[in-house]
Structure 1
Amino acid sequence: MSQLTLAKAKEILPKYTTEDHLFTHAMAVSAAMGAMADYFHADKDHWEAIGYLHDVDYEKYPNEHCHHVREFLEPEGVDEEDINTIISHGWGICDNDVEPTTDIEKSLFTVDELTGVVMAYALMRPEGITGMEVKGLKKKFKDKRFAAGCNRDVIKKGFAMLGLDAGTVMQACIDGMTAHKEELGLK
């Protein structure tokens, strides 16, 4: 089995997902994961692929999210390590005991929810994501009513697991998503 690529991930996801907002979220998480890969000097395409596929079972099994990843991805030739990485983003959230232990797993766990806050903030700004600063994002992050569906506790747990300050991870999310602002509709 070869390592998962973004091109392969983009072939797989449409087989299990039809809703536009899920593709937008997949792209946002993929973009953020690419920036996290840069931070960790890791394989950017691989990390983007993991981010793109992380919710592969969500549309069909929203109440059993992360429990059907293996049955969808094994037949696609995705290797065990990548499947476990994807499953780990639901640790402690989806009745899932696969704890994130690697940089890629911890990054996915953290940016999955964080991209939602970045997205919401970008959509309310006249200039979209362009010129977004961590300072403004931190202010929105502190307001629990803003992007209320994004779990701040999960994000904070992710910062701690990564051993990085919030600003570092927020900047990576902003940078990654800015690089894909056209695809994300954030310009």
Structure 2
Amino acid sequence: MEALTLEQAKKILAKHTTEAHLFTHAAAVSAAMGAMADHFGADKEHWEAVGYLHDVDYEKYPDEHCLHVRELLEPEGVPEEDIRAIISHGYGITTEEAKPETDMEKSLFAVDELTGIVQAYALMRPEGLDGMAVKSLKKKFKDKRFAAKCSREIIKQGFAMLGMEAGEVMQCCIDGMQAHKEELGF
């Protein structure tokens, strides 16, 4: 298989996932990854596809997340670099197998949890994602009770891995999700 496409990622995820919120999360991470690809001058659709498929084993193996990615994706012909990128978003959390090294891997690690905070904030705003400012998002990010299940420590590790300011990554997330707001239900 050439680089994974978004169409292929959607077909593969549908084989292993049934819960609506996981498809919404897949779409949010995909959108954020597209914006990160733009930032790095990389292949946007490829990054979106990897982002979409990042939780392929989560519904079946929530307590062993990222440990079953290879067995689900190798038979689908997903390239090794994409399998590794997906596994790497669990580095230090559920697996020690693949430390994020590429811009794609580091971006996936950073935006996975961050999209949850952006989404939660958008849900409480009458305007949704429209006009969301990084400054306001940073205030929500600092409030540990807001979207409490989204790990600030993991997100901060991602910012550090990328060598980017929090606001830059947040803006990418907002921009990417804004571009896909209908798909995300906003």
Alignment TM class, shorter chain as reference = over 0.9
User: 2:77 matched to which residue of 1?
Assistant: 77
* Matched AA of 1:143: D
Structure 2: which 5+ runs fail to align?
none
What amino acid is the match of 1:79? P
Q: SS state of the match for residue 92, structure 2? A: coil
Aligned position for 2:168: 168
State how far apart, in whole Å, the 1-side matches of 2:7 and 2:14 are: 12
2-structure distance, mates of 1:146, 1:164: 23
Pairs aligned (count): 186
1:16 matched residue in structure 2:
16
Q: C-alpha distance in 2, partners of 1:2/1:160?
A: 31
Match of 1:183 in 2: 183
Distance in structure 2 (CA, Å) of the matches to 1:121 and 1:4: 31
Q: Deviations over 1:99-122 (max 9, x none)?
A: 000000000000000000000000
Name the % identity.
75
How is 1:14-163 mapped onto 2 (pairs within 5 angstroms)? 14-163=14-163
Letter in 2 for 1:108: L
Deviation, structure 1 residue 184: 0.4
SS of the aligned residue for 1:140 comes to helix
State whether residues 66 and 96 of structure 1, in contact with CA within 8 Å, keep that contact through their aligned partners in structure 2.
no
TM superposition shift of 1:48: 0.0
Q: CA deviation at 1:96?
A: 2.8
- TM-score (norm. length: structure 1): 0.98
Specify the SS of the correspondent of 1:183.
coil
**Is residue 87–residue 97 contact of structure 2 (8 Å, CA) maintained in 1?**
no
CA contact (8 A) 1:69 1:86 kept: yes
Deviation at 1:85, TM superposition (A): 0.5
How far apart are 1:98 and its partner, in Å? Answer: 1.0
Q: Which amino acid aligns with 2:118?
A: V
Q: Counterparts of 1:95 and 1:12 in 2: how far apart (Å)?
A: 22
User: What SS class does the counterpart of residue 100 from structure 2 fall into?
Assistant: coil
Separation (CA, whole Å) in 2 of partners of 1:99 and 1:75: 23
Instruction: Give 3-state SS (helix, strand or coil) of 2:97's partner.
Output: coil
Shift >2 Å, 4+ stretches: none
Q: Are the counterparts in 2 of residues 114 and 150 from structure 1 also a CA contact under 8 Å?
A: yes
* Structure 1 alignment gaps of length 5 or more: none
Q: Distance in 2 between matches of 1:86 and 1:140?
A: 27
Task: Tell me the TM-score normalised to structure 2 length.
Answer: 0.99
Per-residue CA distance 1:51-78 (angstroms, 9 max, x = gap) = 0000000000000000000011001110
- Per mean C-alpha deviation after superposition, the further-off stretch among 17-26 and 96-105 is 96-105
How far apart are the structure 2 equivalents of 1:38 and 1:3? 17
Do 1:5 and 1:49's aligned partners in 2 also have CA atoms closer than 8 Å?
yes
Structure 1: distance between partners of 2:148 and 2:10: 29
